[in-house]
Structure 1
């Protein structure tokens, strides 16, 4: 009987890669390049618009085949229900044997899309959470027009802020157009906006080895690779490198910035739940991305892994052990209008650490639902 139950049990979660980027950045070019990689031979593509996508790929067929086109509007902004329907239908076809098994799902968003709703869908829908796992977000940035795009379009900033991989396209045009200085500024800007993302600026690196498998688990071993996924060292290095600058390079404009909360004080489990609940419910729209490991007082050797996008958090998971020798809490935040001082003060208050010497401590303790004036980015 156990063999029969095992045979009917769905396979392990299928990794999902999201490809995003502003209009004209080169998403379709990158997708075509990836689909020629043998590593993606068993890949399903969910795409909002066909564009010039190559339809000769094994698992890319028009409309009624294994490519699912969302034709009724923007995949990310207005069609979350349609996205759920498309993914559930895909799984039904898989389970009924109407399509062959596949190893990966790639979702390409539209150029004007905020990718957060797609992430919400993958991370929060109970059934989809069992069948899919978010592997990573790949954001394509136009190397020639990227500076102007980021300055003019908030959607482009959010696309870059949530990325695990930042791909600079059209780099071959930089020299011919005399855009070296602009390219250097753009690279520095992206590294400051999202220090934990891997920046890829050479076409030969736009392959499966460098763009995929960016998530929490190593698909070959299923073992946690928290240190690589969290990449908090890159953020710390970015702060250290720029700590003598007069301006804060980890801030985009007047609102978006990246920082890493650290603490040697473990949280009681109940306090951890309340800390995350307050962040989610009161400040969710300002949490562009949150990922980290938290030391818990009840079992300090088994940290909690968290991963959130705005008000949606993936169900927390306990690791069997710490991923490295560092036993302190490390949470990477990319936020909008929410300062590191406020978030750190909120954590310290729940950890029982004295915070009254902090400039905004009284406001944090008195009203954790609202950042103090000193905590807002000014």
Structure 2
């Protein structure tokens, strides 16, 4: 019997946000007792105090029962080595991999590694991205650092730390402001805080499409397309009326106005060839600025068996064909998190390929011409 894929979660967040402190807390939870953790390095505030035995210079066993290794050189090589040792029985079997990135890291290359390497694809599937945000310093960090904005934009879960430092009326205003900004950047991510013990392991690590304990994929929660649609409407209202409600002025270097998220649906099916060309055009014209894309698509060759898509910049996970639709909604649903790309451009391109009755060729030509311009 084929083994279910090993879910891989990426834990990210800017310097000082509290990633390692959160990881320390999570690894005490029995839910992660059979997890493997890959970190960039052991630090002074690292997880050293949880270590009980060094298997070798690369892999260690922790008091929680988890395995931990450091990234030595290339992440893909580290993951292959970990999986090979698991297969040979040199280390205990693990049922999840957690990758903790550096605070300055753009999460895209890490996601690329999991989604594009053929060897990893044979055994692993991306579960999702957890981003840690410092509630006290978060606004300034998002103003100054594009990496922090990307970390929030691609997240499936956002963990807000240091909320206890926000005191009084001013602290309350800061909390409302950072939550509003996170919601604008990523309206669909589930937002949890640490000060009320909301950020438990089970809540954080049951987020992905490839949960091996489930019989069918939870596409609706994974896509959360309705949240993006709501976020678009909220953003338009804010653009017209926001200046009446607050006098907070962001730094001119902030990147929020460039990064946006949106979703759209399509009842008509698309041919497999049309989908392939659509994805190729996305890569060619928008790859660098397409921070994340996910969706479920109705194909014309078998409308009863949709495919699941997942992409980060130029890299797309191989489409996964489902045996049946996971819910009653049989429309294509696509979600995009992008930088400096307007929704009508991508939506028009996709719909051009699904217009099977009339005007399809003209619509496609018009869209590609506008892309060239």
Q: Which TM-score band (shorter chain)?
A: 0.7 to 0.9
Distance in 2 (alpha carbons) for counterparts of 1:60 and 1:279: 47
- Of residues 172, 177, 180, the one that matches 1:185 is 177
State the match for 1:69 in structure 2: 70
- The equivalences for 1:223-242 within 5 A come to 223-242=216-235
Paired residues, what number? 350
Task: Mark the CA change 1:248 to 1:117 in structure 2 (over 3 Å): closer, same or farther.
Answer: farther
Deviation for aligned residue 1:331 = 0.5
Deviation for aligned residue 1:145 = 0.7
Residue 246 of structure 1 aligns to a residue whose secondary structure is helix
State the match for 1:218 in structure 2: 211
Distance in 2 (alpha carbons) for counterparts of 1:278 and 1:267: 15
State the match for 2:86 in structure 1: 94
Equivalent pair of 1:193/1:252 in contact (CA under 8 Å): no
Distance in 1 (alpha carbons) for counterparts of 2:52 and 2:183: 35
CA deviation profile, 1:33-72 (whole Å, cap 9, x unmatched): 100111111111111122222335478858433322236x
- Of residues 240, 262, 267, the one that matches 2:265 is 262
Is the counterpart of residue 323 in structure 1 residue 326 in structure 2?
Answer: yes
- Of residues 13, 17, 36, the one that matches 1:25 is 17
Residue 106 of structure 2 aligns to a residue whose secondary structure is coil
Equivalent pair of 1:45/1:60 in contact (CA under 8 Å): no
- The equivalences for 1:275-286 within 5 A come to 275-286=278-289
State the match for 2:245 in structure 1: none
The gaps in structure 1 that reach 5 residues or longer are 1-5, 72-78, 373-378
TM norm structure 2: 0.87
- Of residues 342, 345, 349, the one that matches 2:348 is 345
- The equivalences for 1:79-118 within 5 A come to 82-118=74-110
Residue 257 of structure 2 aligns to a residue whose secondary structure is coil
Distance in 1 (alpha carbons) for counterparts of 2:50 and 2:8: 18
Residue 122 of structure 2 aligns to a residue whose secondary structure is helix
Task: Mark the CA change 1:355 to 1:259 in structure 2 (over 3 Å): closer, same or farther.
Answer: farther
Residue 279 of structure 1 aligns to a residue whose secondary structure is helix
Distance in 1 (alpha carbons) for counterparts of 2:292 and 2:364: 24
CA deviation profile, 1:11-35 (whole Å, cap 9, x unmatched): 4321111100000000001100100
Deviation for aligned residue 1:202 = 4.1
Distance in 1 (alpha carbons) for counterparts of 2:241 and 2:228: 13
Distance in 1 (alpha carbons) for counterparts of 2:154 and 2:52: 27
State the match for 1:126 in structure 2: 118
Deviation for aligned residue 1:105 = 1.1
Equivalent pair of 1:44/1:60 in contact (CA under 8 Å): no
Deviation for aligned residue 1:362 = 7.1
Task: Mark the CA change 1:247 to 1:133 in structure 2 (over 3 Å): closer, same or farther.
Answer: farther
Deviation for aligned residue 1:347 = 1.0
State the match for 2:65 in structure 1: none
Equivalent pair of 2:20/2:47 in contact (CA under 8 Å): no
Deviation for aligned residue 1:170 = 0.5
Equivalent pair of 2:267/2:331 in contact (CA under 8 Å): yes
Equivalent pair of 1:63/1:69 in contact (CA under 8 Å): no
Distance in 2 (alpha carbons) for counterparts of 1:272 and 1:64: 42
Distance in 1 (alpha carbons) for counterparts of 2:31 and 2:164: 25
Deviation for aligned residue 1:365 = 3.5
RMSD: 2.6
Deviation for aligned residue 1:119 = 0.5
Task: Mark the CA change 1:276 to 1:57 in structure 2 (over 3 Å): closer, same or farther.
Answer: same
The gaps in structure 2 that reach 5 residues or longer are 61-67, 243-253
Residue 210 of structure 1 aligns to a residue whose secondary structure is helix
